[in-house]
Amino acid sequence: MESDTTTPAGTAAPAPALPAAGREAAGSDHPVAPVFSVPAFLLVLVGVIVAGAGAPLVHAALAGRLALPPSLATGLAALLAGAVGAAFGAAAALVGRRLAFYEVTAAAILWTGTVALRVALLPTLRGSALGAEGLEQQGALVVVLGLLATGALAAMAVFIGATFTYLLAGTGRLDPSLSFELYVARSHLKLTPRTLLGLFLLCVTGVLPGLLFLLVRSLLDDLAERRAERRGLLHARRHVPATMLMTLISIGGVAIGVWALTVVLSVMSGFEADLKKKILGHNAHGMVMKYGQDDFTEWRQARQRVLAIRGVTGATPFLYNEVMVAAGERLTGALLKGIDPSTIGTVTDLPASVKEGKLAWLTDPAHIVAHPVRGEGQPPRGAEGDGVLPGIVIGREMAALLRVGVGDRVSVISPFGDLGPAGPQPKSRHFRVAAVFYSGMYEYDAKFAYLELGEAQRFFGSGDSVTGLELKVRDVDAARGVLARVQSELGGWPYRTKDWGELNRNLFSALQMEKLVMGVILAFIVLVASFIIVATLIMQVLEKTQEIAVLKSMGAGIPSIMKVFVAEGLIIGAVGTFFGLVLGLGTCLLVDQVGIPLDPEVYYIDNLPVLIEPAQFALVALMSVAIAFLATIYPATKAARLRPVDGLRSE
Amino acid sequence: MPAPFVRVEGLRKTYLMGERRLEVLRGLDLELEAGELVALTGPSGAGKSTFLHVLGTLDAPSAGRVLIDGEDVFARGEEDLATFRNATVGFVFQSHHLLPEFTALENVMMPALIRRLGRPEARASAEAVLDLVGLSPRLHHRPGELSGGEQQRVALARALALKPRLLLADEPTGNLDPQTAEGIHALLADLNARLGITAVVVTHNEQLARSLPRRLRLAAGRLE
């Protein structure tokens, strides 16, 4: 027999000193559990593909068909796809009866391969259904990153599902109990309310004062030790065990990451909400227009029909043209809107944002008087001799630029005037400033000007026609759906509708992108904190090899040992997340109450805006705990795969 | 003839260390009847611990079989082996290997908690076993607060907590002074007699070995 090859009797002696690397000779006739399960791999692959490819489709369906607001649609699509991926992962774990790590990795690599293939084929796919137009417009890099990120997230969902299921049912039967695992995990962490409170205070007071305090205490301790030594006394100094220190540092890391994420996202939400408020205050939530050159003369009937539609709370006609406004030597381009002063208030905040003069003077220009402060009691300049001029409302910035005030005369120049001998000639007409408005948005205050609708129609010679109707809806976020109803109610073509999101798409998508990028960058803090969790748990595993071996000798299975370390990591993650959420919420409330002044000339906001969105906090918490969970898996498998013999030998 | 409780057939354990082959167990055959109390002796490095680990399914053999009640235990998967250990085997190690953060009672409760028994149930059985080894007054002491003999008694109680049919003790008195060791030996013999547990005790203590009904000697990977 093979094993009878001559071995000196002496070399067989030091069996207990065998290192773990000593490999067993082959010869056992029992089957070895497979390392790679093909059925599990197929399930995982389907999971990654369904989740990765399904998420954008679900998103498109939710945002398009059901007209849900984009952020809600994204969230729902991600949740749904994640759940489906996790379900496939769970199935894979049940089939393979192992962690599906290799299978998930293989599926992710396959996905990366298909992405590479698709990018290589992009030029030929352009225009076809497979081309993902939206992404393509933004360039190949975005396509690649988007696809890779989707794949990575899908693989993550599948992996989390598989791991979770393995932990719950890896023994072959459902075993959600944590009776002794939690017990052991808590003994490893040694977290007492006192240490947690100390850590929390350290986070609250800021790291610097806290460290200073610790330094001073350490200094005093050192002094006491020296003094005791000189007197020949024993001075027992309290030592914090290294693993416990690591635990506290990981909790602090997670807390700081979550803190930063929640605060920055809340501030960005605040900016977005503020901007939205200003844009929506000044603009309508949507508009109805007509295709082509058709005159929109039946707007009175259309307005009545639109007003009857559920969800629409206001409608007003407008006539829109681009013109130049001049006062003396000064000149500026302007967007001139003819409005109906009696109904404009049902759609925009224009009446409320008039700061000087009166909006009503648009229809009653004879009563325009100079603003008392500016005019200092004098009659309007240039009022004599001009007779009564029609009124115009301009923004504060335009007024400052043109150096005019209420009662002053401006001229409006339109490039499309009457037909002269040499084609169309510009036409110019004088108006008197009836009111100055201040919306808070520089763009609007510098560029918008308003005339009375009839006056505008006369000026532009458009008869009774208008450009369209501006609408206000009850629920801003449902504007898209309401406008779709409006369009079908009006009978579709030649009518078309646009909602505020479409009208300001660039701005809001830029804001969303900015928020996403900030979120990703700050999530890296949490990611780094998760590396500390990994290091902490590896230290724990190394320190507890003997304990793990003993637990195994008592019959603890692989899922049980894993649960111990997963529970440890989750406790670290959950406590850190909780600290971070509390700190984040506190900071937001503080900023909201006390206010951090901003230069209004630059930001048009005098205080740093903060919007506390519970969903955002929940999302950050979920992400942070999920990352902590993922961080535990490597150390936990490392612990569970320890051979009990090695742990028992280390005496 | 009914199958013996434990039957070991041609057990081999070989390690490959690079080019070198280390044969720790070279073909062991053994039968143990239920309720037997066996002393296993032999020089250091003869493979006693390895044999005990294989017998307790903590380590897989390179060749050969271990049959418990006629069933080849290593044909089971890893999870079933864990369940098997929990239900059938109790280990006592040379150094007690108690979990330092837990009290004596909690340590002894651990196997029952691993079996997913309820906490009150686990506590009741642990208290009973600790009473059996004479440690009722020291339930809430941590291992660090117990003497060496007491620690080993707790370890013994932990091994017996779930009334295993096979007790494997690896030099349970190796770290103790002769007098304390004597007490543990007496306790082992007493428990074997009272509970009918099959026990294999690895020992260097010739006196203990002679006092046990059956003696096995392992040398150079073979039973003599």
Tens digit of each residue's pLDDT (9 = 90 or more) over A554-571? 988 888 899 999 999 999
Contact A552/B at CB under 8 A? yes
- Above pLDDT 90, what percent of chain B? 12
Report ipTM (2 d.p.).
0.92
Q: Which fold has domain B6-223?
A: Rossmann fold (3.40.50)
pLDDT recorded at residue A498: 82
pLDDT recorded at residue A22: 40
pLDDT recorded at residue A125: 57
Contact A546/B at CB under 8 A? yes
Q: Which of A1, A2, A3, A243 to mutate to test the interface with B (most CBs of B within 10 A)?
A: A3
Strongest mean pLDDT among A1-15, A65-79, B79-93: B79-93
Distance CA B31, CA B4 (A): 6
- The mean pLDDT value for B51-58 works out to 89
pLDDT recorded at residue A5: 39
Chain A with chain B: Cβ pairs closer than 8 A: 156
pLDDT recorded at residue A635: 92
Query: Of A124-128, A314-318, A470-474, where does mean pLDDT reach its minimum?
Result: A124-128
Does the distance separating the beta carbons of B59 and A22 come in below 8 Å? no
pLDDT confidence of A3, banded at 50, 70, 90? very low
Would you say residue A27 has pLDDT above 80? no
Does the distance separating the beta carbons of B86 and A555 come in below 8 Å? yes
pLDDT recorded at residue B108: 92
Digit-coded pLDDT (tens) for B165-179: 899 998 888 778 888
Would you say residue B72 has pLDDT above 70? yes
Q: Which of A5, A7, A167, A180 to mutate to test the interface with B (most CBs of B within 10 A)?
A: A180
Within A595-613, where are the H helices? 600-603
- The mean pLDDT value for A434-462 works out to 84
Contact B45/A at CB under 8 A? yes
Query: Of A31-35, A89-93, A550-554, B95-99, where does mean pLDDT reach its minimum?
Result: A31-35
pLDDT recorded at residue A374: 47
Q: Compare A255 and A309 and report the one with higher pLDDT.
A: A255
Digit-coded pLDDT (tens) for A365-404: 777 776 554 444 444 454 444 577 888 888 888 888 888 8
Distance CA A94, CA A168 (A): 10
pLDDT recorded at residue A26: 41
Task: Specify whether the CB–CB gap between A581 and A258 falls below 8 A.
Answer: yes
Query: Of A10-19, A640-649, B23-32, B123-132, where does mean pLDDT reach its minimum?
Result: A10-19
pLDDT recorded at residue A574: 94
Rg (CA), chain A: 35
pLDDT recorded at residue A202: 79
Would you say residue B2 has pLDDT above 90? no
Would you say residue B29 has pLDDT above 50? yes
pLDDT confidence of A16, banded at 50, 70, 90? very low
Q: What is the 3-state secondary structure (H, E, C) of chain B?
A: CCCCCEEEEEEEEEEEECCEEEEEEEEEEEEECCCCEEEEECCCCCCHHHHHHHHCCCCCCCEEEEEECCEEHHHCCHHHHHHHHHHHEEEECCCCCCCCCCCHHHHHHHHHHHCCCCHHHHHHHHHHHHHHCCCHHHCCCCHHHCCHHHHHHHHHHHHHCCCCCEEEEECCCCCCCHHHHHHHHHHHHHHHHHHCCEEEEECCCHHHHHHCCEEEEEECCEEC
Contact A35/B at CB under 8 A? no
Is the bond into A494 cis (omega within 30 degrees of 0)?
yes
pLDDT recorded at residue A258: 93
Would you say residue A321 has pLDDT above 70? yes
pLDDT recorded at residue A19: 41
CA B7 to chain centroid, in Å, comes to 16
Task: Specify whether the CB–CB gap between A471 and A347 falls below 8 A.
Answer: yes
Q: How many C-beta atoms lie closer than 10 Å to residue A240's C-beta?
A: 11
- The mean pLDDT value for B74-95 works out to 87
Q: Tell me the nearest-neighbour CA distance from B86 into chain A, angstroms.
A: 4
